[in-house]
Amino acid sequence: MSIQPGKSFTSCVIKIPFLSLVLPLLFTACDTIGPDFVKPDAPVSEQWIEEQSEAISTTDIQVDEWWTLFNDPILNSLIAKAHEENLPLQIAGIRILEARAQLGIAIGNQYPQSQQIRGGLTQFQLSDNQANLPAFADTSFAAANIGLDVGWELDMWGKFRRGIEAADADLLASIADYDDVLVSLTGSVATAYILVCTFQERLRIARDNVKIQQRSLDITRVRFENGATTELDVQQARTLLFDTQSTIPSLEIGLRQSKNALSTLLGMPPGNLDDLLGDHEVIPSAPAEVAIGIPAELLRRRPDVRRAELQAAAQSARIGIARAALYPQFSLVGSIGLSSSNAFNSDLGDMFQLNSIEAFAGPSLTWDVFNYGRLKNNVRAQDARLQQLIVNYQNTVLEASREVENALTGFLRAQERVIFLEQSVDAAQRSVDIALLQYRDGVSDYLGVLITQSELIRTQDLLTQSRGDIATNLVDMYRALGGGWQLRKDKEIVPSETREEMIQRTDWGTLMDDLPTAAPQTADQ
């Protein structure tokens, strides 16, 4: 047995006689080192806080295309367009291709890692004055060689198998990330659309009130000119009118910003959306009863929960990769080729004769024996990262439950608020009618009209916002429940135009075929 220096004094290459090739076979029965991933426990409630509400059902949950519950064709078309054109969603789809390529790299590491065809032609000119040079030696000659070198590190400790596990979990995590982007996208499009409709309704109310207040101002002017009242009534009417008019620019700002946000979600530059929105200005109405399932279903439905679990699974496999570095690495190396020179009686043309063949093969062993704790500390670092991801998974589950509970409470309380505000608007409208009648008859001054009209504007605006809140909270609830990613079923994850562009630029082989169209399984399934 001979020992040759490696690249550093902390490692060595040990060449073992050829018969000892059987020794690595003894290790094939070794278990893959490192922990096998186990799905972490997660804190999940048995039921929702608001589960007893008559507006809530825990059965027959429908979250696949939850937006259809609004019965709004425009909203349906906007979500379909966003799915086709949204740019962050396309980025998430392309990341799936990247993860597929990374998985291919991990799988390839199981096979001979080094296969190199070499060849060269070198001209040598030796010094005639060097020491111990025989008089008959050629000092000027050329040498040529061609050959194949192969090196194969055997997966004795499961390092490469763990690498495949990690890459496979990363691929599934990238799919879950795509789904999470899609859930967020559908919710964001619906929210932006509801905001657009809400601002349009608030603008309509403000403009209608401007017309009413303008007529009130005209009445006060006539009465003032006839000496029936003082200028104070005129100025009070003007103040209320101008205050109402001042709200219109801020509402128009909100409307434009909401439309711009919707344009970006649709993959369009900010511009006119009349072709997509038409003249529809009605706030989407929510159904009287909604189905939300049970809390435990969040663990399999929410993409971000699946992603957190898969990230932990990938990191668990990386602990095994790190631990494998603590053990000796066994390899099979070999080379075969042809070599010749024109020194002495040889000729470069003799290279393709049988006596020009050169070859060697055999096992080798490398082992970092003096690593000064670096390898163990790397294992510890990988384990710490795993624990962080386990806690992150548990926190993601908690956050998911919080988001559902918040949206559910907002949805139910907004419904209750609308009931009271509708009664308040009716009472405010009746107060305005009475105050105007009494003012015309001279029974009361303009202060009563001013107060009642101000209150009517306020309650009408609050009622409109609350109706928008009902729809927005319902959207938030279905987004928190993980609904919407099912939209990608049987549809392209990467647009065909993008695929063609990438294929023209790079040979993608079969990696773009059979992209996922169904829900990925979690690590423990």
pLDDT tens digits, residue range 184-204? Answer: 999 999 999 999 999 999 999
Predicted confidence at residue 60, as pLDDT, reads 67
131 domain residue, yes or no: no
Backbone angles phi, psi at 291, to 5 degrees: -105, 130
Beta partners for residue 146, in sequence order: 119, 338
Edge to edge, what strands does the sheet with 114-125 contain? 2-5, 12-15, 357-366, 329-341, 140-153, 114-125
Predicted confidence at residue 13, as pLDDT, reads 36
- Structure token digits, residue 139: 């000092």
Is the model's pLDDT at 453 over the cut of 50?
Answer: yes
Predicted confidence at residue 24, as pLDDT, reads 45
Rg (CA), the chain: 38
CATH of residue 282:
1.20.1600.10
Is the model's pLDDT at 308 over the cut of 60?
Answer: yes
| Contacts with 250 (C-beta within 8 Å, 6 or more apart), sequence order | none
Helix (H) or strand (E) holding 67: none
517 domain residue, yes or no: no
Choose the weakest-confidence range: 167-176, 414-423, 446-455.
446-455
Is the model's pLDDT at 259 over the cut of 60?
Answer: yes
111 domain residue, yes or no: yes
291 domain residue, yes or no: yes
Choose the weakest-confidence range: 205-214, 236-245, 405-414, 490-499.
490-499
Q: Can you tell me the mean pLDDT for 212-224?
A: 89
| 277 or 521, greater pLDDT | 277
| 446 or 180, greater pLDDT | 180
Distance CA 221, CA 203 (A): 27
pLDDT tens digits, residue range 352-394? Answer: 888 888 998 899 999 988 888 999 999 999 999 999 999 999 9
363 domain residue, yes or no: yes
130 domain residue, yes or no: no
Q: Can you tell me the mean pLDDT for 122-129?
A: 82
Domain that holds residue 454: 2-125+141-505
| 252 or 495, greater pLDDT | 252
Helix, strand, coil shares of the chain, percent, nearest 5, are: 60, 10, 30
Mean pLDDT score across all residues of the chain: 86
Is the model's pLDDT at 61 over the cut of 90?
Answer: no
355 domain residue, yes or no: yes
Looking at the 3D structure of the chain, how many domains does it have?
A: 1
Q: Is 24 exposed, middle or buried (0-12, 13-18, 19+ CB in 10 A)?
A: middle
90 domain residue, yes or no: yes
